[in-house]
Amino acid sequence: MSSITLYHNPRCSKSRAALQLLQSRGVEPQIRLYLENPPSRNELEQLLTQLNIGPRELLRKGEDAYKENNLKDPAVSDSALIDAMLAHPKLIERPIAICGERAVIGRPPENVLELL
C-alpha cells in the first residue's frame, strides 16, 4: 500500500479523529499542516482531480473568508474559487487523506478508512 498523506489541522476535532482512526489501524500518515504549508495551485488542482470534485465542493462555507469574498455567488468561477483557497487555506475542507491517485475528505472521519 502507498503511504497516506493527511491534510491536517490539529485544532479540528474531525481532523484529529481521522488521524486517530488511521493510527489505530497501524497507519502513521505523513502529516501536512496545510495551514502552515498550503498547497500550490498545481497541488490543489491535482487534489480536486483525486477527489473527483469541483472547487466549490472543497470550500468550508462557514469560514469568514467565504462570506467576505462572496464565494456563495454561483457566478464566481472555479479559478477564482481556487484563488480564494490559495489566499485563505482555512477555506479548504479538512481533513483530506491522500493515497496514491485516490483521496477522500474525512467528513465523517471514517471516510479515511476507504483508503486502507
- Residues 98 and 86 both lie in one domain: no
Provide the strand spans (E) within the chain. Answer: 4-7, 30-32, 96-99, 102-105
- Residues 84 and 62 both lie in one domain: yes
pLDDT (tens digit, 9 = 90+) per residue, 63-105? 999 999 999 999 999 999 999 999 999 999 999 999 999 999 9
In this structure, the chain runs to a length of 116
| CATH number of the domain within which 110 lies | 3.40.30.10
Number of domains in the chain: 2
Active site residue 12: yes
Catalytic option among 3, 7, 12, 67: 12
- Residues 53 and 84 both lie in one domain: yes
- Taking 60 as the threshold, does the pLDDT of residue 1 lie above it? no
Range of the domain at 82: 40-91
Instruction: Answer whether 0.85 is exceeded by the pTM.
Output: yes
